[in-house]
Amino acid sequence: MSGGLSGKLPDFPWDTIADARARAQAHPGGLCDLSVGTPVDPVPEAGVRALADAAASWSGYPTVWGTPALRAAIRDYLESRWGTVPLTDRNVLPVVGTKELVAHLPLQLGVGPGETVVLPTMAYPTYEVGARIAGANVLATDDPGEAAAARPALIWINSPGNPTGAIASPGELRAWVAAARSTGAVLASDECYGEFAWDAEPFSVLHPDICGGSAEGLIAAHSLSKRSNLAGYRAGFLAGCSTLLTELLAVRKHSGLMMSGPVQDAMTVLLGDQEHVEVQRRRYLARRALLAPALRAAGFTIDHSQGSLYLWVRRGEETGREIVAWLAERGILAAPGDFYGEAGRFHVRVALTATDERIASAAQRLTAH
């Protein structure tokens, strides 16, 4: 056989920094891996207990739509924490982790060849992967007007953003809503880092001041991977336009995309508990307070980075790949900015998702040189 889907996809980016990883691992003090956004802190005890308590009671298949208790927990969380428009069960849908959703949303919405998917100029690579899987064209732009002129089928936005940590203002979000609605495009807002904002306030696209009181044409994506250190559970959800989510529910039923029943129960409990989120916020804030000045002392400039779990940094005229190599010599691994689009080629993304000890070691190595 020749061709195949894999031939349409970009090279897996992490494979391209294998040499830098090897150099960093050889450091006498060991590797400080600041390249990925994988949580290292414990799953909250309430979630562990809920998962264990549910383990014996799920002999049957779970539903794609989730339990009534889970749907209620999603609605309550969004309305109380994010001030969204009032939601019914038809406005929410659990998903088996949001990476799966991002990679398959264009396909599940029926976007196909000849149609266009818009994504940010510096973006999570899976947005593009999803468009390519569906055979769609890709337009990278941060301008709502340019996006609308392309008459896309789907527009992705992300705030707080990965990799830059930029947080969109209410005016910017309203402009994206208007651009999507003017062309009939679906606007998908990735809000998975919403709980981690440092220098600006994030808003959901479903807030009435942003969406004009209506969820029509809008989808917001949320995850417990970062909020609750639940990356290994694969627990995310969508909220928004009931027409779109009803269509996605039907497609996902046929595809068997059901979240594990015990995970649904753990997710229900954790969505109702904000205290563990505040504990995790304090952990990341302390790591940020240690790492940011160390990077500045080593000659780096931090751009954007108002939120999320990353610092978006550059140094003079060096390319991101050159910076990655410099850091690797000091046992620190970071992600080159070109992973996220050509516009990021002079930056690197430095993650806060390492243990306190590894963050402290990285900061010491940065200030020692």
Domain for residue 50, yes or no?
Answer: no
Domain for residue 20, yes or no?
Answer: yes
> How confident is the model at residue 1, as a pLDDT?
38
What's the pLDDT tens digit per position in 24-45?
Answer: 999 999 999 999 999 999 999 9
Domain check: are 178 and 311 in the same one? no
Domain check: are 229 and 332 in the same one? no
What's the pLDDT tens digit per position in 150-198?
Answer: 999 999 999 999 999 999 999 999 999 999 999 999 999 999 999 999 9
> How confident is the model at residue 2, as a pLDDT?
46
Q: Tell me if residue 91 falls in helix, strand or coil.
A: helix
Domain for residue 194, yes or no?
Answer: yes
Which of the listed residues 239, 273, 307 is the one where a domain comes to its end?
273
Which of the listed residues 251, 273, 295 is the one where a domain comes to its end?
273
Closest CA to 287 of 196, 227, 369, 357: 357
Question: Do 332 and 343 touch, CB atoms closer than 8 A?
Answer: no
Which of the listed residues 254, 273, 292 is the one where a domain comes to its end?
273
Q: Which CATH number does the domain housing residue 318 bear? A: 3.90.1150.10
Domain check: are 248 and 361 in the same one? no
Domain check: are 357 and 345 in the same one? yes
Domain for residue 49, yes or no?
Answer: no
Domain check: are 163 and 262 in the same one? yes
Domain check: are 207 and 332 in the same one? no
Domain count along the chain: 2
CA dist 280 and 227 (Å) reads 8
Domain check: are 65 and 211 in the same one? yes
Q: Which CATH number does the domain housing residue 204 bear? A: 3.40.640.10
Below-50 pLDDT ranges, the chain: 1-2
Domain for residue 168, yes or no?
Answer: yes
Question: Do 264 and 271 touch, CB atoms closer than 8 A?
Answer: no
CA dist 2 and 29 (Å) reads 46
> How confident is the model at residue 369, as a pLDDT?
63
Residue numbers of the domain that contains 348: 5-42+276-367
Domain for residue 344, yes or no?
Answer: yes
Domain check: are 221 and 91 in the same one? yes
Location of structure tokens 């002999």: 59
Domain check: are 33 and 181 in the same one? no
